[in-house]
């Protein structure tokens, strides 16, 4: 069977694209490992219209539930490679199954940026983590550190402050980059300790993380004792290795270049959400959802003309 559309990614962009594709009558399939994407990891979402305050997981459950109302197929698989022959795309997954489709919407989102310091890889899963909502409960009444200065770092610190005994919030600049509303809430929590204008240079421990090495002293010491480290320093576009076609245009940062209807430089291939250029655009659940809707309309237009 050849699908009209395959949506790769099950986050806000992918699920919204599916809802619109269903309403356009397009035979399609969603392929995604994590239903809800990284948006489901958000501790609290307070800027999505109609949902004044909701967890990321709860909001993504609403997206998923609405998509499923249209009986859409969802395959829990990882895409390994995409190839195109004439006008048909062939998608190879880790399930050793080839899927054919007339069009694709790439909605893979982002993957977490790493610190790239000694000890980070060695202690991943043993104190180093990139998901506070996933792993935060493991650090009940312990001392943890969050690295970052944007919204994700601020909200992660707030979430962890309800679980951990103490939260060090470490940022390389003299001030935070996140929304003032989040900064005010961080300032109100007595167990969040802000360490500004410093960087983590090394992560050390025995079996598990037990301390960090800073580039500059904090209270006359470069060593900071912690039980865990949460890295929240931003993300990079995912899926850069699954398409080997040099015709796919990306910018210098790896974001996919698209037009007004989210078409890429390869006919029939669309992209939506956080993987699209420009790199400095607003990356929020609402903007990802909007791009998913626009991409689905772009697919409908493309199929009507071809």
Domain that holds residue 57: 2-112+235-305
Distance of CA 287 to the CA centre of its chain: 13
Q: Both 106 and 250 in a single domain?
A: yes
Q: Both 8 and 91 in a single domain?
A: yes
CA-CA-CA-CA torsion sign (92, 97, 101, 107) = negative
Q: Indicate the SS3 state at residue 253.
A: coil
Q: What is the DSSP letter of 5?
A: E
Residue 120 forms part of a structural domain: no
For residue 191, what is the domain's CATH number?
Answer: 3.50.50.60
Residues forming beta bridges with residue 294, ordered by sequence position: none
- In terms of Cβ atoms closer than 10 Å to its own Cβ (0-12, 13-18, 19+), residue 189 is middle
Q: Both 257 and 219 in a single domain?
A: no
Q: Both 226 and 239 in a single domain?
A: no
Q: Both 203 and 241 in a single domain?
A: no
Catalytic residues: 131, 134-135
Q: Both 240 and 216 in a single domain?
A: no
Angle at 61 between CA 52 and CA 177, to 5 degrees: 50
Q: Both 108 and 16 in a single domain?
A: yes
Structural domain ending residue among the three candidates 178, 213, 231: 231
The mean pLDDT of 153-176, rounded to a whole number, is: 96
Q: Both 104 and 240 in a single domain?
A: yes
Please compute, for residue 196, the number of CA atoms within 13 A of its CA located in the half-sphere on the CB side.
9
Residue 271 forms part of a structural domain: yes
- pLDDT, tens digit, for every residue of 69-86? 999 999 999 999 899 988
Paired tokens of 111: 């993957």
Q: Both 54 and 38 in a single domain?
A: yes
- pLDDT, tens digit, for every residue of 118-150? 999 999 989 999 888 778 998 999 999 999 999
- pLDDT, tens digit, for every residue of 186-241? 999 999 999 999 999 999 999 999 999 999 999 999 999 999 999 999 877 887 77
- In terms of Cβ atoms closer than 10 Å to its own Cβ (0-12, 13-18, 19+), residue 34 is middle
The mean pLDDT of 270-287, rounded to a whole number, is: 90
- pLDDT, tens digit, for every residue of 99-120? 999 999 999 988 888 999 999 9
The mean pLDDT of 262-286, rounded to a whole number, is: 92
Q: What is the DSSP letter of 284?
A: -
Q: Are 133 and 42 in contact (CB under 8 A)?
A: yes
- How many whole angstroms separate alpha carbon 258 and alpha carbon 269? 10
Whether the predicted pLDDT of 45 surpasses 90:
no
Residue 119 forms part of a structural domain: no
- Smallest CA-to-CA distance from 259 within 251, 245, 268, 270 is with 270
Residues forming beta bridges with residue 168, ordered by sequence position: 145, 193
Give residue 135's pLDDT.
85
Q: Both 6 and 108 in a single domain?
A: yes
Q: Are 250 and 241 in contact (CB under 8 A)?
A: no
Give residue 244's pLDDT.
60
Give, rounded to a whole angstrom, the gap between the first and last alpha carbons of the chain.
Answer: 18
Angle at 225 between CA 183 and CA 172, to 5 degrees: 40
What are the DSSP calls for 139-192, one per residue?
A: GTTSEEEEE--SHHHHHHHHHHHTTSSEEEEE-SSSS--S-HHHHHHHHH-TTE
Give residue 42's pLDDT.
82
Whole-number mean pLDDT of the chain?
A: 93
What's phi and psi for 209, nearest 5 deg? -60, 135
pLDDT band with cut points at 50, 70 and 90 for residue 22: very high
Q: Both 205 and 280 in a single domain?
A: no
Q: Indicate the SS3 state at residue 108.
A: coil
Q: Both 64 and 95 in a single domain?
A: yes
Paired tokens of 53: 């305050």
Structural domain ending residue among the three candidates 231, 264, 291: 231
Task: Say how many domains are in the chain.
Answer: 2
pLDDT band with cut points at 50, 70 and 90 for residue 24: very high
Residue 123 forms part of a structural domain: no
């Amino acid at each position: 069977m050849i699908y009209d559309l395959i949506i790769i990614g099950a986050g806000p962009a992918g699920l919204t694209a599916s809802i619109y594709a269903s309403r356009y009558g397009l035979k399609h399939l969603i392929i995604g490992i994590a239903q809800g994407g990284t948006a489901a990891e958000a501790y609290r979402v307070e800027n999505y219209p109609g949902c004044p305050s909701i967890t990321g997981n709860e909001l993504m459950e609403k997206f998923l539930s609405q998509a499923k109302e249209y009986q859409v197929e969802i395959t829990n698989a990882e895409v390994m490679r995409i190839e195109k022959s004439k006008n048909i795309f062939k998608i190879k997954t880790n399930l050793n199954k080839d899927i054919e489709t007339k069009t694709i919407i790439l909605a893979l989102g982002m993957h977490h940026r790493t610190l790239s310091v000694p000890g980070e890889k060695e202690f991943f899963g043993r104190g180093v983590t990139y998901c506070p909502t996933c792993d935060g409960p493991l650090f009940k009444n312990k001392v943890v550190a969050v690295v970052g200065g944007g919204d994700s770092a601020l909200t992660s610190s707030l979430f962890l402050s309800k679980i951990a005994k103490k939260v060090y919030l470490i940022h390389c600049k003299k001030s935070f980059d996140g929304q003032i509303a989040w900064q005010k809430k961080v300032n109100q929590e007595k167990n969040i300790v802000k360490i500004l204008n410093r960087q983590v240079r090394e992560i050390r421990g025995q079996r598990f993380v037990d301390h960090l090495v800073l580039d500059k002293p904090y209270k006359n010491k470069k060593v900071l004792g912690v039980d865990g480290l949460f890295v929240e320093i931003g993300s990079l576009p995912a899926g850069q290795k699954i398409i080997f076609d040099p015709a796919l245009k990306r910018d210098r940062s790896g974001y996919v270049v698209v037009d007004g209807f989210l078409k890429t430089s390869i006919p029939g291939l669309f992209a939506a959400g956080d993987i699209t250029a420009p790199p400095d655009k607003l990356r929020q659940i609402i903007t990802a959802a909007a791009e998913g809707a626009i991409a689905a309309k772009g697919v409908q237009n493309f199929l009507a003309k071809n």
